Amino acid sequence: MVTQKTINSLLRPLVVSGVYKDEKIALKDIIADYIQRKIEAYTSVIRQMESKYGKDFNSITEKLKGKATMKVEDDWIEWKAAILMNESWHKALKKLLRNAS
């Protein structure tokens, strides 16, 4: 289990070096950066699928009902997962920014 002392010891160099004002701001910024990278990764998957199929997810879902191949179904599952994870990471970022002031 990570203790407050461990967290502070990891963040302290960032404060001492002047990169951040305090540990709380450093931790918030590091977590926000991590979440943003996740959002960018899932957004990239979504864009790749939209480009590959030339339509958005909902349009493809309607078009494929009952006639998807295994490969297309695999893409559909990956696409849906990317959308759900993207939404979850966006919610997490909003909560972080709202609660960590």
Count of domains forming the chain: 1
What is the largest distance, in Å, between two alpha-carbon atoms of the chain? 61
Distance from the first to the final alpha carbon of the chain: 25
Nearest to 86 by CA among 48, 36, 31, 50: 36
Query: What is the domain range of residue 25?
Result: 4-99
- Residue 68's pLDDT is what? 86
Specify the pTM. 0.86
Residues in the chain, pLDDT under 50: none
- Residue 101's pLDDT is what? 62
β strands within 48-96, DSSP E: none
- Residue 40's pLDDT is what? 98
Q: Phi/psi at 3 (nearest 5 deg)?
A: -100, 165
**Are 14 and 20 contacting, i.e. CB atoms less than 8 angstroms apart?**
yes
- Model confidence pLDDT, tens digit, residues 52-77: 999 999 999 998 888 889 999 999 99
